[in-house]
Chain A
Amino acid sequence: MDTVQDTGARRTVKLLIVDDSNIVRRRIERSQQFDDLQVVGTAANGLEALELARRTNPDLVTMDLTMPQMDGIECITQLVQMKPEVRILVISALADKATAVEAMERGANGFLNKPFTDRQLNEAIAELMY
């Protein structure tokens, strides 16, 4: 189901939030400050994320990496195969360069380290979407 809506001149951007922490998922949802961003789903692992992505067709996905059942790197790989145009912002505590490089090589478009401020989150989203 495609729920993209027109809101005047700007199209609604559909956001899917993926993180195994409920607190982090709520934090991202609460802290994003874009009127045209619509949270279409939240997932606690890669498997749930793929299922939700099929159903909600997101434009942007925030993706944790260390998760049970299916980690973020594998999820990015499958998500990009399923929906090549999706933009993926990795939000992870893993702070080494090799992890960021690997995520980008699999298809991520941006990388934000935890812990993050609201400003850092919004700047990272803006960089990918606008």
Chain B
Amino acid sequence: MLREEELKTFVDGTTRYFEVAAQQPASIGSPYLLEGEPAMHDYTGMISVSGKREGVVYFTAPRAMLTVLLMKMQESDFSHESMRDLVGEVANTISGNARRDFGHDFVISVPSVFAGEKPQISQPTGARAFVIPIHWRSHSAKLVVSLT
């Protein structure tokens, strides 16, 4: 089961992503235990985790935030496909960086992306899901981590 101290890996990964990719740090809120269904934003990028740990990591964000993020990355393509690409890449980068602490056996999938539909996310038995709130400029997003 995911321990609260392990959340630091994902908080640090999220902080690093915004600092480097967007050149503007995000403010990370206090993580909390998810009860019930999480509120999803417009776009969600999900990574399945297997190996030594099992579960999912997903990043969900509103279109407005992703648009500004793309602008900060010098992108000029703000299409639906770019939004999908970006949420997948954010989820992939934060999950991949977690191997620095979780090791080689923390096996991550390629991203699955959901937009405008309710994602089918199956949490493994015994996993606890934590929500890491992300505030960047005037926008809010979430990273959800659910691991055995």
Enumerate chain A interface residues (CB-CB to B < 8 A): 20-24, 26-27, 30, 66-68, 92-96, 98-99, 113-117
Query: Does B39 interact with chain A (Cβ within 8 Å)?
Result: no
Q: In the complex the two chains form, is B88's CB within 8 Å of A21's CB?
A: yes
Verify A66–B108 contact, CB threshold 8 A: yes
Central interface residue in B86, B89, B102, B108, by most chain A CB within 10 Å: B89
Q: A98-B104, A114-B93 are in contact. Are A23 and B82 (CB under 8 A)?
A: yes
* Interface of A, helix, strand, loop or mixed by DSSP: loop
Closest to A20 in B: B110
Q: Which residues of B contact A (CB under 8 A)?
A: 16-17, 20-21, 70, 73-75, 77, 81-82, 85-86, 88-89, 92-100, 102-104, 106, 108-110
- Name B85's contact: one of A23, A67, A94, A99 (CB within 8 Å): A23
Q: Are the C-beta atoms of B99 and A113 separated by less than 8 Å?
A: no
CB within 8 A of B96: which of A23, A66, A67, A98? A66
The distance in angstroms between the C-alpha atoms of A96 and B74, with both chains bound, is 29
B93 and A115 within 8 A (CB): yes
Q: Is the CB of A113 within 8 A of B85?
A: no
